[in-house]
Amino acid sequence: MTPRGTAPLFPSGVVALALAGCGGKTLDIGSDSVSQPGCTPSVLYADDFSSDTLENYEFPFGADYAVVDGVLQQVAQPGIALPDAVDRTAVIRPELLAGASDYVVEADGRIRDRTDSQGLFGLAFRAGPAGEHYSFLWNGNSEHAVPHWQVEKSYDLELDYSYLGGGFGTGEESPAYALGTWVHLRVSVTGTRFRGQVDVHDGRGLVTVYDVTDASDPFASGSVGFRSGWLYGTNFIEFDNFTITSSCG
């Protein structure tokens, strides 16, 4: 797929791996990375979904994803009433992270249906085998008065969760999302600090919506991928240009 907006470039194909040793330290400040001498951040995993294989992914909540026309897609499932069986994650097999627990993860995403705001989509990180994970996502569900960005901590396959950073992103730091449009999502994970950024292509580039620290029994490691769900009717959620970059420790 052709990179969308600010998405990074990488070789065509389902996955590009480029592991490199880092002798220094990278400090992730704002939307920039400042590297000490001897450290070169490297791509741990990249997928442009030009191949329809999903053999590198796991689906803790059910495999409702498929590659369609060069994008990863989750489709509303017929006969499933809200809110049953509608939240999904697709995360890469943990060994592909090569032991990394700190990283920067990026992807493009959208809700394809332009008429129905129901649905949520974003990035999942520190995802474990019991369904636990963090996610940075846009939530357009009618359970909330105003669609918004949020950082969520989910504890299990039942999706018991809590909000980090005081709940919902608001104001200038929470760019509006226009249904049907692609946006670029970015999460920097460093220890217990998580910074969620989004570029809605309004000329401002990446805007930091959240910069939070989980001080309450944080998840120390886990896999990385996508979070989506709460779909019905003709809704689709789509992702493209997925990359995970090391932070050099």
User: What pLDDT is stored for residue 178 in this prediction?
Assistant: 85
What is the pLDDT averaged over residues 133-160? 75
More confident residue, 86 or 90: 90
Percent of the chain at pLDDT exceeding 70: 67
Tell me: the pLDDT tens digits for 93-129?
999 998 999 999 999 999 887 666 667 899 999 998 8
Between β-strands 236-246 and 43-47, what pairing exists: parallel, antiparallel or unpaired? antiparallel
180, 114 contact by CB (below 8 A): yes
Residue 154 confidence class, pLDDT cut points 50, 70, 90: confident
Going along the chain, which residue ranges are E strands?
A: 26-29, 32-35, 43-47, 57-58, 65-68, 71-75, 88-92, 103-111, 120-127, 133-139, 148-154, 161-168, 183-190, 193-199, 207-213, 223-229, 236-246
pLDDT the model gives residue 232: 65
Please, which residues bridge with residue 123 across strands?
136, 226
Domain ranges of the chain: 26-246
List residues bridging with 242 in a β-sheet: 47
Is the pLDDT confidence value at 212 over 90? no
Whether the CB-CB separation of 223 and 98 falls below 8 Å is answered with: no
- Range ranked top by mean pLDDT from 41-45, 182-186, 191-195: 182-186
User: For the whole model, what pTM was predicted?
Assistant: 0.80
pLDDT score recorded for residue 147: 72
Fold (CATH) for 26-246: Jelly Rolls (2.60.120)
Per residue in 55-77, pLDDT tens?
Answer: 999 988 776 789 999 999 987 66
Does residue 94 sit in helix, strand or coil? helix
Q: Are 89 and 59 in contact (CB under 8 A)?
A: yes
Could you give phi then psi for residue 96, rounded to 5 degrees? -70, -15
Q: What integer pLDDT is reported at residue 88 of this predicted model?
A: 80
Mean pLDDT of 217-236: 84
